[in-house]
Amino acid sequence: MKLSTHALDTASGRPAVNLVVSLVRLEDGRPDGDPTVVATDADGRHRFPDQLGDGIWRLRFEVGEYYRTKNTATLYPWADVVFLVEDAGSDHLHVPLLLSPFAYSTYRGS
């Protein structure tokens, strides 16, 4: 299964450009190996090139660092989105993040 994400800074109404994101598989709630660390592009998007296998995965969005670069206070040092992959043979999973300094939400996108 391929994974993509899209981060939107809803406070500014713009994509969260250069937001650092890491992806890691979890085993018993702990990272299983080294995370893949990337940054979102000029549209706030990133497509992970590798296939995901079945299991529990975590996307960690480095919210604190993102807002530090904007000289904006935030409540969150990071936002973790943990999700389950049960059918790795499926085509694609899109996990977006809607972000502001004091709130965030996510959903399964298309």
Q: Read off φ and ψ for residue 93, nearest 5 degrees.
A: -130, 130
Produce one character per residue of 51-79: b if its CB has 16 or more CB atoms within 10 Å, e if not: ebeeeebbbbbbbeebbeeeeeebebebb
Question: Is residue 90 over pLDDT 80?
Answer: no
Domains of the chain in sequence order: 2-106 (2.60.40.180)
* Tens digits of residue pLDDT in 57-88: 999 999 999 999 999 999 999 999 999 999 87
- Please name the amino acid found at residue 10: T
Q: What per-residue confidence (pLDDT) applies to 46?
A: 97
Work out the average pLDDT over 93-101. 97
- Nearest partner of 21 among 36, 43, 9, judged by Cα: 36
The three-state secondary structure class of 66 is: helix
In DSSP notation, 81-110 reads EEEEES-TTSSEEE--EEEETTEEEE--B-
* Tens digits of residue pLDDT in 13-64: 999 999 999 999 999 999 999 999 999 999 999 999 988 999 999 999 999 9
Q: What per-residue confidence (pLDDT) applies to 11?
A: 95
Global pTM? Answer: 0.94
Q: Contact, 76 vs 65, CB < 8 A? A: no
